[in-house]
Amino acid sequence: MAERGDRFVFLVGAGRSGTTLVYKLLCLHPHAAYISNYDEWFLPAGRVAGMVAGNLDAKLAAWFGRKGNAYFVRRPILKRMFPTPVEGESIYRRCGMPLFPGRDYRPDERTIARMRRSFDAIRRGACGRLLISKRTSNNRRIPALEATFPGARYVHIIRDGREVADSLLRVEWWSRHRVWWDGRTAEQMERSGEDSLIIAARNWVYEMKELAWGLSTVDPCRVMELRYEDLLANPVDHLLRIFSFIGLDREDGCLEAAALLGLRSRPPSWRRRWSDAQLSGVMQEQGSLLTGLGYQ
């Protein structure tokens, strides 16, 4: 198992950077296994997802909303019952992987064995050539994942931090979310007098810095960066590029599906939402990092 880490792919990126969209697009491929909602419910590892691996039309209908939206809540019950890629934190927790590891954390042999056994059981149950995992907490677990799955590949999705901050404030879970670099929820931080937009902007900076540190421990040939904006502008070419990087064959059905989803670039929403003062505050938090990444 230690020699077959190339069977595992981890998608990482700051929350609201498009990781869920990329996750579902890749899992359209019939040879891509993933942690599904059924795996979280302790049902036979990977097998339920394996039963629908080649059903592209059903995947599209159950996983995507209007205009290619991959993250939507209050889905009809029949869609919720369909095997769907999930983050699967319960799998990590059952294996002993902490939610908030320190930078010096390394998994012990028991945790490593459980992780390898659980992930490979899901992959084999789904008859997948490889298993793709997307979990936001993995942004802080990269050295632990490297110790567990040597040879694994990482796809880092990057998005303009201003768009990320604006998006965070518009999702229902953010206010209750425990901010790992502070220990409080965003709502608790706001009650203490901190500005909600600045909290969201700062969160992107912390996430990006943690990712840079974690990925610096990985051989660069096993790390691929993808700009979310580039993906929206040309989803087919970039999806094909990821397939090639992670070792999946070209699948024309997946590429055609990605084209039909209607993904496209849109004007940044923060331009019409923020005042000059709000933009100035965000740039104080994010400006140097945005410039370094080439965002104007």
Mean per-residue pLDDT, 75-99: 91
232 pLDDT above the threshold of 90: yes
> pLDDT over 90 for what percent of the chain?
87
Q: Give residue limits of the domains in the chain.
A: 2-293
Mean per-residue pLDDT, 9-32: 97
Give the pLDDT score at 72. 66
**Is-contact 92 137, C-beta < 8 A?**
yes
Q: Reduce the secondary structure of 134-174 to three states and give it as a string.
A: ECHHHHHCHHHHHHHCCCCEEEEEECCHHHHHHHHCCCCCH
Residue 8 amino acid letter: F
192 pLDDT above the threshold of 60: yes
Give the pLDDT score at 107. 97
9, 62, 235 from 1: Cα distances, Å = 14, 33, 33
Give the pLDDT score at 1. 40
Beta strand 223-227 with 32-34 is unpaired
State the pTM of this model.
Answer: 0.95
Mean per-residue pLDDT, 175-197: 96
In this predicted model, what pLDDT tens digit does every residue of 126-144 receive, in sequence order? 999 999 999 999 999 999 9
- The count of other CB atoms within 10 Å of the CB of residue 161 is 27
79 pLDDT above the threshold of 90: no
> At 73, is the pLDDT very low, low, confident or very high (cuts 50, 70, 90)?
low
Give the pLDDT score at 68. 73
> At 111, is the pLDDT very low, low, confident or very high (cuts 50, 70, 90)?
very high
Give the pLDDT score at 2. 43
89 pLDDT above the threshold of 80: yes
84, 160, 226, 283, 295 from 291: Cα distances, Å = 37, 10, 17, 10, 5
Mean per-residue pLDDT, 85-105: 95
- Which range has the worst mean pLDDT, 60-74, 158-172, 240-254? 60-74
| More confident call, 128 vs 1 | 128
161 pLDDT above the threshold of 50: yes
32 pLDDT above the threshold of 60: yes
Give the pLDDT score at 43. 67
Give the pLDDT score at 78. 78
Burial of 34 (0-12, 13-18, 19+ CB in 10 A): buried
| Average of per-residue pLDDT values in the chain | 93
Q: What fold is seen in the domain 2-293?
A: Rossmann fold (3.40.50)
Query: Residue 151 corresponds to which tokens in the numbers above?
Result: 């040879």
